[in-house]
Structures are given as C-alpha cells and as structure tokens.
C-alpha cells in the first residue's frame, strides 16, 4: 500500500487527525532514546472510536502501529516505522475520581501531573511518579511499567492498575483485570510454563525486562491487567484504564545522607528500607557539579559532606512526626554526614536536580555528549554496591564515562554514557553485551523501569533462558499473531545498533554566525543536545519556569523545543528534510518559536533554540532578499533614531488607525497591533542638552556605567532618567554611555548576524575600557542585557574584550541588591502596601534570573506577585503577521490572568519594553520599569 493510499484510509478513519507531512514525521521520528525510526504517518485520535478505526486500517494493511504518549521513552519503544498514534493531544482526560474506592478512570493520554492535581483535593495521588511526571502520560507509564522514586513505597505502575480497556492485534477489545478468560489459550500457556515463570520471572521488584508474566500465576491472582502493564505496546493498544490511588503523606521530610562514593551509598540503602521510607534516591556529586556549572552555585542548596548522597524521604502524620522519622533514620544510616530538610525551597531544589537527571547527565563532567542506552539497569538492592563497583570497572575497560543517579532503594541505576555515537558507533554493541552479562551475573534486569524497547531487546538472551524467550514469543502471539503492534520490540527485536539517530547526522560546522563553542563548533552537535526528555512539553509555571510558551499555547509537538530540535536534526541527516537551510519543514518548525531563550535555562540539556533559529535565518538569507519584517522590525533601532528626529509627527501619522493598519499590513505585520509611541524627546537628545546640569554623583560605592540602549532612548527615556537618579541616590558615581551603543538584538533575532557582530564590535570599543577598569555596566532593557551575557560570547568569543564585558554586565536590580549588602547598606524607598504584578523578562530569566529583583522589591516592602511565563510579544514575534493569535494565547497563560486578578491600584512592573507593550496593547495596562517604580513619588 502506498503512503498516499494509507493516508487516505486513515484520514477517513480519524478525520482531521492525520498528518503525513515530512515535518510531522520528523518530529515523531525519535523519542527520548538513541533511535530514529521515521513513521509513514502520524495520527491524533480525538475519540476512542478513532483509535479502533485506525487500528483496523493498520491491521488490514499489515502496517505497523505504535502507540505514543509523551514521547519520553529512553528505550525507543515510542517510535515505529508505520502508523504512530499520539494519544496525548486529545485523549487526555481524567474521566472519574472515586475517593471511596481510591481509584481513577483515565484516558491513555492524560499527563500524570494532571491526575495528581485532580486527585489532590481528595488527599490522594497515583503512587509511582517518574521524573517526567509533568509530561509523561498514564498510557506511557502503563506501556513500560514506570516507577519513579516513590515506587519504593507505592510499587510500580503494574502494582497500581485495576483494569485496562484493551484492544489487541486481532481487533479484539476486552477489559483486562483479574482472570485469564478474555484471551483464548492464555490459561493453557500459563499452565504449561509454570516452572519457567516461577523460576525466571518476578525474582525482585525491578525485574522489568521481557514480559512480567509472573502476575498470571494463580498464587499471584492471575492478574491480566498487571501482566499487560509493561508490554510496551507490543500486545495491544490501551484505550482507557482504572488505576489505584494512594493517600498522600500528611507531612514529609527529606534526609540527605553523605557517603564517600556512590557504591558506598548503595551499600547503605537496603538497611534504610526498614524505616519504610517514601523514597531512597542516589545522587552523584559530579551531577551536582553540572548543575552548579549550568545554573550557578545558588541553584544547589548546601549539602552534607560526601561525594555521593542518598536522598531519603520520610513521612509522618505531622511535621513533628516526619522530623522524628528522619532522626531515627539518620541514627541508623552510618553516613559521613547528614542534613534534614523539611518541605520547602531547599528540598524542592534537590528534588528538581534529581528530576532533571536525564537532561543534566546528557553531558559528562568533561563536557562530552552522553547518551541513554544502558539507562536503567537494576539489581536486587542488596547487590547494588557490588554491581556499581563492577560497573565502574566496566566503564574504565571500555574507556567511557557517565554520571550516576537513580532509585537506590529499589536497586535501579540511571546513567548516561559518553559513547562516541557520532564517530564510532561500533563501540556501542560490545559495551552493551558486556553490561548485560554484568547485570545478569548479579541476578539483575536489563531494564528496571523503562522497558527494553530497541535499546535492550536483543540482549534478553543474556538474562533469560531459551525457554523464557520462547514463552515471550508465544505470549505475544496470542495477542498479536501478525506482529503489527510495535514490531522489533521485546519479541523478535531489532539489533541494538540499528536505526541509531546520531551516526546518521552530518556535521554542520559554524560558518560565520554563532560559534557553538560549547558544541565543538558544530550546529549538529548543538541540536543533538536535545535527547527528548520532553520538559518543554510541561507547564513549569508553578516552579517559575517559562519554557516552552508556544507549546503551552498550541499543545502541538511542532511548537515544542523538542519538536524543533528533531526537525533540525533531520536537517543534519538530510534524508527527510531535503532542501537545506531554506526548507519549508525547518521554517515551519521555527516559525512559532518566540526566541524567548527560556529553553537555555529551563531545559536541563542547555539547548538554546533562539540561537539555532537565528543561525538558520542567517544561513537561509545570507546574501539574499529577506522578508520585509527583517528590514523593518529587525532594524528597529535605525528606524527609531530616524523617528526621533520628528517623534510627534511620526506618532500623529501612526495614530490614524486606517493608515496604521495599511502600513502594518504592507510591512508584513499584523494590522490588529498598535504601534508604540515614540518619546517626545529621546534620551540622547535630552542628555546632550542637560548633562552639564545633571550631577553624576560622587558616592562611596564607586563608578557604574549606565547603558542607555536603543529602546530606553527612543521609547522610555523616563526609565533611563529614573535609573540615573536611583543609582546616584544609592551612592554610585554614574557615567552614561556615550552615543549610539547598540547590542544588535533585533538583528540577532532576525538572523542578520554579520550586522549584529559589527554592532557588537562597536559596543566593545565603547564598553571594554570600562570593563577593564572594573566598572559595572548597568543594563536597563533585559533583552539587551542578556545579549551581553549570552550572545556576545557566542558571536564574538574570539575577541578577548568580550569576556570582560560579559563579566561586567549587571541588571539594575543586581547592582541595587549588592548595594543593600555589606557596610552602610542602601535602603530602598518604602513601597509598603504597594501591590506589584511583576512580569520578568524571558531573556533575563534565561541569563540572570529574577531573584535580585525580588529581593530589592521585598526589602522595599512591596507585595509582589511574579508572573510565570512569557508575555507573548517577544520582540518582533507578536508583531509579525501570522503570530497574533499565538501571541495572545501565550499572554493568556500568565500575564493577562495576572492583570485581571490583580487588586485595584496594583502596579505592573515590567522592565522589558516588549512586556510593557503587550500589556498596553492587550489589556490597556501601562507598565513601569523598576527604576521608575523605585523613584516614583509617594
């Protein structure tokens, strides 16, 4: 059957939910594993009936069918060569929560965090909680029998399923629960293989490899639902599930235990299980060092002495009970050092490090790219220390390295390894074979929670006898005799080194734009930072995260950071995306990227999609005619200077609504947008006339250079004047940047990188002497300040002055915060009783953070509500035609609801010119800069 014929049949089966475009297939060609398998078509069913019809088409056509949830599989069990069915887009509801029975009825695509949120009012939760809980789906968890840190207390997903609404490969739909009757021949198969099942399967809690057929034994309740959990989509398609919920511990405490190394920590873990902990997690000092390098030392709370830690969570009926449980555990721990943290910011920060482990471990301590593949092996907990010592020796033997962490209470270890997949993929197989033999020698399992997938299926004979392997084949045959469901996984598996993604990618060396210095000067290496952990698909607002605003607005994989990275990886591959830099697939994928840079800080891999987008635009249009908005919005500082010659006239013309709409439409912008008013007197003109009369100050705190950027000059000179007064009052000697000092931000965002670099070199000419003298450079516009703290080095890192300017650059809040510390501290103006709605700028979030601003505001006594999320305008993004609706939808995720719920008289604080413009345009609310807020009259 041709691709077109298959697509037509599927479009009839699932109207409006079928996409066979090359861009979409690129997005779904990988999950979070090492593998790339391009599907023929992707389907987004809206109803269960759609799934039934799609499965019938696949069965009739003999085309492989692979179910997919959040796409966070690290074993390659969520990719397939035929039809990939994404359940997360529409089939994502919690249908019922029954607090009396302690169960919930869910659709396959419901995200675990959503189930937890809807269960919480009843004092309940789903027990297993993998680190991807904010984006993984219940269907995916059932597919690979997910566990997570709290499985030590609550069991695996299999332990928490009650009934499954199941569709097998023959078209048979049934309810799987207790009993084997729904599947003809199953009881006979079990009875004939009792010895194999009893001796080889279910030997310890994290034995996940193969099929968990021990649940079919009569002494275990003949539970078909549990046995089908973890079959990785090879025996059927999940249509719905009833799952068990557990009570939430009323109070918790986190015990952090320090040990000399990870193996010693593993030795200590089994004895702690007698205290009935809720979680026992291992954390390597080298992984913590990655966090310090990537996010700064402040991101890591103080830790007890040691090079390996156990994070042990205990519960109690109240805080005192939790503390008592923690004290008893510490007394038995035999640790080098310990710390007990009650629920709060420090405990949350440590859990966040643990949750981000898969991404953080994507680079080794030496900065090499690390990969999954041997990601979650498990052994009985009492064997874990010995296994880790053997594993360290194996790594040394193969000359590879990795950062360890994992569920030490369950004997499960996570690790990413710097296998040279780019240039020596042949080294993968020998290592995996040796690793499989090592774990088997300790009575362990190749997989402890993620399933075998494509990463380990071929290795199962190192763990199981031929009789057990034959049993798995016969079991699958009862459900999927034609081998349509996720073929090549578990039964008759593909080779572990088939369909590897990274070796197929060609180098894309730096070519005059960004340097990609941290990625060996190669864009291909940079985009392969994305290993698919999918954090960009989660709503991070509750923890102050911003990534990924476009995905939160559209809920489309295309608009996630991961989706864009996958398409760029296909650009490097060249077999699916054919037309290079100008390909439609690449530009469609990047079109709704707001260039907010949030992924730079929020993604644990440190990916920077804003830079990649700018690089693509640079290479696409270098030496060619560009889209009109690149000349208008991309060179806004130039036009702003011209407008500054007659700002009143320009404002008057643009105030004529019909004329403004025509001009916007002709300029490639959305006619529904307003145009910001130019200041009647730009700052530079005012400064030339008044600077002799404005005291620079002679304070004891030393000099600062106030950088008046293009936006502050042309649109908000009041903020620059306020900053001068504020810094002078704080005791600084203020020098104002002379002339037109532009960072090239708008040129960067539109990919005009040659011009941007020219502007940055002129900026270095102006700023380098101040930086060399140790003078702080105080930025007012967050996006411009962020250029000097990120893009400057990426574009001009070969200029020795760039590092000095980067190090000298400060936000206004950082300078004021420093003035508030030490002897003779500066006291901010009194803002007691002032309600502030603060919109942090995305670029500041990504490069400097907002903590200094919050400290200054709280010292002033302000009542601050910080908005989590992008404003949605994002420079030129929200102005450009075709982006308005998404821009508004992004604003509705944070800014607009915060303004609507703010008390009367609340002040909108937004240092970013774009943020203030968006609020004025969409909500009619004017905003102020921090400098204006702190200098306003009482």
Structure tokens at 170: 């023959």
Distance CA 839, CA 254 (A): 32
Cα→Cα distances 381→338, 405, 444, 669, Å: 22, 14, 10, 61
Q: Take residue 128 and report the two structure tokens written for it.
A: 């297993």
Contacts of 660 (CB under 8 A, 6+ apart): 654, 671, 674, 675
Q: With 80 as the cut, is the pLDDT of residue 93 above it?
A: yes
Residue 161 structure tokens: 């399923």
User: Cα separations (Å) of 47 from 7, 86, 106, 142, 676?
Assistant: 18, 12, 13, 19, 45
Number of Cβ within 10 Å of residue 323's Cβ equals 16
Phi and psi torsions of 258, nearest 5°: -100, 140
Span 454-479, pLDDT tens digits: 999 999 999 999 999 999 999 999 99
The span from the CA of 361 to the CA of 406, in Å, is 12
Model pLDDT, residue 911: 98
- CA dist 723 and 708 (Å) reads 10
Cβ atoms of 516 and 583 within 8 Å: the answer is: no
pLDDT at position 293 is 76
CA–CA separation, 772 and 752 (whole Å): 29
Which tokens go with 431? 């290592």
Residue 362 pLDDT: 76
3-class secondary structure, 69? coil
Kindly report the backbone phi and psi dihedral angles of residue 445, in degrees, each rounded to the nearest multiple of 5, phi listed first: -125, 135
Report the phi/psi class of residue 210: left, alpha or beta, with left for phi > 0 and alpha for psi in -120 to 50. Answer: left
Q: Mind listing the pLDDT tens digit for each residue in 9-40?
A: 999 999 999 999 999 999 999 999 999 999 99
What is the model's pLDDT at position 698? 62
369 pLDDT tier (thresholds 50, 70, 90): confident
pLDDT of residue 300: 84
Q: Give the pLDDT band of residue 203 (cuts 50, 70, 90).
A: very high
For 408-459, what is each residue's pLDDT tens digit? 999 999 999 999 999 999 999 999 999 999 999 999 999 999 999 999 999 9
How far from 933 is each of 287, 830, 860, CA to CA, in Å? 41, 11, 11
Rounded mean pLDDT of 355-364? 73
Q: Is 70 exceeded by the pLDDT of residue 937? A: no
- Model confidence pLDDT, tens digit, residues 552-577: 999 999 999 999 999 999 999 999 99
Task: Tell me the C-alpha to C-alpha distance, in Å, between residue 590 and each of 562, 628, 848.
Answer: 11, 18, 25
Element containing residue 272 per DSSP (H, E): helix 262-272
Q: Residue 938: pLDDT above 60?
A: no
The chain-wide mean pLDDT, for the chain, equals 94
pLDDT at 692: 59
CB 759, CB 742: distance < 8 Å: yes
Summarize pLDDT for 652-700 with one digit per residue, the tens. Answer: 999 999 999 999 999 999 999 999 999 999 999 999 887 755 666 566 8
Q: Output the DSSP codes for 584-602.
A: HHHHHHHHT-----HHHHH
Helix (H, G, I), strand (E, B) or coil at 519: helix
């Amino acid at each position: 059957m041709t691709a077109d014929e298959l697509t037509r049949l599927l479009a009839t089966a699932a109207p409006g939910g079928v996409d066979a475009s090359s861009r979409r297939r690129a997005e779904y060609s990988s999950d979070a594993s090492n593998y790339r398998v391009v599907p023929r078509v992707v389907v987004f069913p809206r109803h269960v009936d759609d799934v039934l019809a799609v499965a019938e088409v696949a069965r009739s056509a003999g085309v492989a069918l692979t179910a997919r949830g959040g796409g966070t599989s690290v074993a390659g069990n969520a990719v397939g060569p035929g039809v990939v069915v994404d359940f997360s887009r529409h089939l994502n509801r919690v249908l019922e929560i029954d607090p009396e029975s302690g169960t919930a009825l869910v659709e396959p695509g419901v995200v675990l965090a959503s189930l937890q949120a809807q269960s919480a009012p009843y004092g309940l939760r789903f027990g297993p909680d993998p680190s991807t809980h904010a984006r993984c789906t219940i269907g995916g968890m059932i597919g690979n029998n997910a566990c997570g840190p709290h499985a030590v207390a609550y069991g695996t997903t299999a332990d928490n399923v009650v009934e499954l609404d199941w569709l097998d490969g023959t078209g048979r739909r049934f309810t799987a629960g207790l009993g084997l009757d729904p599947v003809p021949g199953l009881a006979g198969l079990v009875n004939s293989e009792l010895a194999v099942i009893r001796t080889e399967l279910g030997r310890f809690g994290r034995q996940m490899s193969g099929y968990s057929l021990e649940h079919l034994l009569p002494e275990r309740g003949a539970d078909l639902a549990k046995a089908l959990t973890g079959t990785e989509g090879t025996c059927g398609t999940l249509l719905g599930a009833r799952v068990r919920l557990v009570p939430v511990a009323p109070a918790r405490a986190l015990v952090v235990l320090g040990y000399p190394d990870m193996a010693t920590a593993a030795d200590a873990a089994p004895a702690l299980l007698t205290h009935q902990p809720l979680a026992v997690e291992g954390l390597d000092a080298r992984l913590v060092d990655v966090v310090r390098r990537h996010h700064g030392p402040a991101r890591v709370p103080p830790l007890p002495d040691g090079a390996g830690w156990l994070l042990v969570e205990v519960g109690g009926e109240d805080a005192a009970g939790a503390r008592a449980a923690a004290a008893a555990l510490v007394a038995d721990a035999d640790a080098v050092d310990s710390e007990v943290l009650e629920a709060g910011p420090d405990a949350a920060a440590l859990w966040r490090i643990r949750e981000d482990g898969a991404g953080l471990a994507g680079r080794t301590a030496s900065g090499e790219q690390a990969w999954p593949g041997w990601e979650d092996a498990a052994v009985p907990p009492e064997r874990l220390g010995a296994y880790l010592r053997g594993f360290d020796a194996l790594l040394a033997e193969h000359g590879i390295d990795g950062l360890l962490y994992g569920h030490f209470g369950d004997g499960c270890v996570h690790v990413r390894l710097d296998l040279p997949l780019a240039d020596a993929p042949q080294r993968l197989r020998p290592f995996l074979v040796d690793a499989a033999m090592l774990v088997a020698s300790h009575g362990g399992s190749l997989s402890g929670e993620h399933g075998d997938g494509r990463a380990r299926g071929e290795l199962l004979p190192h763990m199981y006898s031929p009789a057990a392997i034959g049993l798995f084949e016969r079991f699958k045959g009862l459900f999927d005799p034609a081998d349509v469901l996720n073929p090549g996984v578990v039964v008759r598996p593909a080779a572990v080194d088939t369909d590897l993604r990274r070796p197929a990618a060609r180098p894309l060396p730096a070519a005059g734009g960004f340097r990609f210095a941290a990625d060996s000067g190669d864009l291909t290496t940079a985009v392969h930072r994305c290993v698919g952990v999918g954090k960009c698909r989660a709503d991070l607002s509750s923890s102050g995260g911003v990534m990924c605003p476009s995905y939160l607005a559209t809920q489309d994989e295309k608009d996630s950071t991961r989706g864009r990275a996958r398409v760029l990886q296909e650009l490097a591959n060249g077999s699916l995306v054919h037309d290079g830099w100008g390909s439609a697939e690449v530009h469609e994928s990047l079109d709704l990227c707001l260039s907010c840079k949030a992924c730079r800080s929020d993604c644990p891999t440190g990916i920077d999609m804003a830079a990649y987008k700018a690089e693509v635009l640079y290479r696409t249009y270098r030496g060619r005619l560009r889209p009109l908005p690149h000349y208008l919005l991309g060179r806004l500082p130039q036009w702003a200077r011209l407008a500054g010659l007659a700002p009143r006239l320009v404002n008057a013309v643009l105030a004529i609504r019909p004329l403004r709409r025509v001009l916007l439409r002709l300029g490639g912008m959305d006619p529904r947008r307003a145009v910001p008013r130019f200041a009647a007197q730009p700052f530079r003109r005012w400064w030339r006339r008044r600077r002799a009369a404005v005291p620079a100050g002679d304070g004891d705190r030393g000099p600062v250079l106030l950088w008046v950027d293009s936006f502050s000059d042309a649109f908000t000179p009041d903020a620059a004047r306020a900053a001068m007064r504020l810094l002078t009052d704080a005791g600084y000697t203020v020098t104002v940047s002379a002339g037109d000092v532009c960072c090239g931000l708008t040129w960067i965002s539109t990919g005009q990188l040659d011009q941007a670099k020219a502007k940055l070199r002129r900026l270095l000419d102006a700023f380098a002497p101040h930086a060399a003298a140790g003078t702080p450079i105080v930025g007012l516009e967050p996006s411009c300040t962020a250029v000097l703290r990120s893009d400057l080095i990426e574009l001009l890192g070969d200029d020795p002055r760039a590092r000095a300017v980067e190090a000298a650059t400060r936000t206004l809040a950082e300078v004021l915060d420093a003035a508030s510390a030490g002897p003779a501290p500066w006291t901010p103006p009194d803002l007691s009783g002032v309600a502030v709605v603060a919109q942090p700028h995305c670029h500041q979030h990504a490069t400097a953070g907002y903590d200094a601003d919050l400290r200054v505001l709280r010292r002033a006594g302000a009542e601050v509500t910080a908005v989590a999320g992008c404003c949605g305008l994002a420079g030129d993004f929200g102005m450009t035609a075709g982006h308005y609706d998404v821009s508004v939808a992004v604003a509705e995720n944070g800014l607009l609801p915060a303004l609507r719920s703010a008390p009367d008289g609340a002040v909108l604080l937004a240092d970013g010119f774009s943020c203030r413009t968006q609020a004025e345009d969409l909500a009619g609310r004017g905003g102020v800069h921090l400098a204006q807020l702190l200098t306003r009259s009482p």
